[in-house]
Amino acid sequence: MNPPERLNPVNAPTPSSTQAEEQACVAFQSRMAERIASGDDLQTDPHLAGCPRCQTLLAELETIAQAARMLLPTEEEPDDALWQKIEQAISNERL
Ligand SMILES: [Zn+2]
């Protein structure tokens, strides 16, 4: 039996540009909750402007964040643990 000769990644379905985009998304999303928590305006982020996936994720995150704020005392910032829970809830949804 001859070994298969299809070792060339000619038909590889992942062009490098897509990988770079995904890395940009991962980087953006990993800081998303943190930046919202610090009052940063993510709507002006250049990555977000060109990325429907992150726009959708941000919209979901803001909905959750608003709900979370309603559960908190008005003059208290959400702590880091809460934001981590929110991030976990979102990433679990994505799986
Ligand atoms: Zn993105």
Give residue 92's pLDDT.
83
Q: How many domains does the chain have?
A: 1
How far out from the chain centre does Cα 49 lie? 14
Give residue 21's pLDDT.
87
How far out from the chain centre does Cα 74 lie? 27
Give residue 90's pLDDT.
85
How far, in Å, is the centroid of ligand 1 from the Cα of 94? 14
In-domain check, residue 42: yes
pTM of the model: 0.52
In-domain check, residue 36: yes
* Residues near 72 by beta carbon (within 8 Å), at least 6 away in sequence: 78, 82
How far, in Å, is the centroid of ligand 1 from the Cα of 29? 7
How far, in Å, is the centroid of ligand 1 from the Cα of 57? 9
Q: Which two tokens stand for residue 38?
A: 């610090």
Q: Which two tokens stand for residue 77?
A: 């910032």
* Residues near 90 by beta carbon (within 8 Å), at least 6 away in sequence: 57, 60, 61, 64
In-domain check, residue 25: no
**pLDDT tens digits for 35-92?**
887 888 888 999 999 999 999 999 988 888 788 878 776 666 667 788 888 888 888 8
How far, in Å, is the centroid of ligand 1 from the Cα of 76? 30
How far, in Å, is the centroid of ligand 1 from the Cα of 46? 10
In-domain check, residue 77: yes
How far, in Å, is the centroid of ligand 1 from the Cα of 39? 20
In-domain check, residue 17: no
How far, in Å, is the centroid of ligand 1 from the Cα of 22? 7
